[in-house]
Amino acid sequence: MPSLFTGYRLGGLSLPNRTVMAPMSRVRAAAGGLATPSMATYYAQRATAGLIVTEGIQPSLIGQSNPGTPGLHTDEQRDSWRQVTEAVHVNGGRVFAQIMHGGRVSHPETTGFQPVGPSAVAGAGSVFTPSGPQPMPVPRALATGEVADHVHSYAHAARRAAEAGFDGVELHGANGYLISQFLSSNANLRDDRYGGSIVNCIRFAVEAAAATVEAVGATRTGIRLSPGGGIWDAVEDDAVELNTALLTELARLDLAYVHLVGTADEDTLLRLRRAWPGTLIVSPTMPGGAKQTGRSEADHWLGLGADLIAFGRAFLANPDLVERLRTGLPLAPVDESTFYQGGDDGYITYPPYRHTA
């Protein structure tokens, strides 16, 4: 079994270990969706990860889900990310930009637009807005002829990411956002080439991945999936059949990796591991769940065939997480009240482990 601390070759990158900093929203972008010096510090502090995947970055204004999130759809936004990629690289790290189109998980108060989705079906629950939580609105169903614009928004953002110095991009196909909505049996009620059958429901994801590969190359393109997760009310009726079909098509593109979230039982994830011939990142625990990924979960999944292991909240309070895991040092607790409050407190103020005499 490979060790969490052995190197791994990912496309053109040599990773010094098999830890991945999972994408986590921190909603600390400046006005206009710009990356900030504090964001550069935050990611640079965690550059000992084998790979960093950034928070979700919207590929268009209509694709923005939450207030305070960064973008990659203007030249100014692209330029603002250079301070982040340079800081990570100077500190010896590698970083992919996660491209996230929120689809129906958005609100006019945030973007100025009615959200879009595969069908005019509102998700259950509330979304964040500048004035506080609001019920998720009914999205405008995308016409067949305009779906391609949203497919290519991922590729356009990926080009800007490459220009900004990112080592690659991860398409956010998980957690109930736009790609996940097209995969969903209750969010996607279409009867055209993007809905109905499994072949049609996976088409948007495959086209977005193919367009991104054409834009920046297969070795610089990954995708995150949450099989059967039901997050943001995006339900998948047959997660195994659906995701197996999707992985079969994605395998033809020779992507850098697939990143599976632990939203399904172990047997389902293992069946999907067998369906995917390439590099597999596993996030062993549910997003936002009570349990955090630790060394035991990482070793378990490496033994089951995962190549890389993604850690979420543990990386927030432990910028030196890799060393703490390697040497068995205790992990600092994370202050959840600072997740989305803005500012530097609870963002770049967590120190590395301090040894006492």
Domains present along the chain, CATH in parentheses: 8-338 (3.20.20.70)
Q: Are strands 19-21 and 51-57 parallel, antiparallel or unpaired?
A: parallel
pLDDT of residue 287: 74
The phi, psi pair for 107, rounded to 5°, reads -160, 145
Active-site annotation holder among 42, 43, 177, 350: 177
DSSP 69: -
**Integer Cα distance of 327 and 322 in angstroms:** 9
CA 90 to chain centre: 23
**Integer Cα distance of 111 and 299 in angstroms:** 42
pLDDT of residue 45: 98
Provide the 3-class DSSP secondary structure of residue 75: helix
347 is catalytic: no
| pLDDT per residue rounded down to tens, the chain (357 residues) | 789 999 999 999 999 999 999 999 999 999 999 999 999 999 999 999 999 999 999 999 999 999 999 999 999 999 999 999 999 999 999 999 999 999 999 999 999 999 999 999 999 999 999 999 999 999 999 999 999 999 999 999 999 999 999 999 999 999 999 999 999 999 999 999 999 999 999 999 999 999 999 999 999 999 999 999 999 999 999 999 999 999 999 999 999 999 999 999 999 999 999 999 999 999 998 776 667 788 999 999 999 999 999 999 999 999 999 999 999 999 999 999 999 989 999 999 999 998 765
Can you say whether the dihedral through the CA atoms of 75, 55, 190, 276 is positive or negative?
Answer: positive
**Integer Cα distance of 311 and 221 in angstroms:** 20
pLDDT of residue 171: 99
The phi, psi pair for 10, rounded to 5°, reads -120, 100
pTM of the model: 0.97
pLDDT of residue 357: 55
**Integer Cα distance of 357 and 354 in angstroms:** 10
Residue among 54, 41, 138, 36 nearest 95 (CA): 54
**Integer Cα distance of 216 and 235 in angstroms:** 31
Q: Would you list the DSSP string of 326-353?
A: HHTPPPPPP-GGGSSS-SSTTTT-PPPP
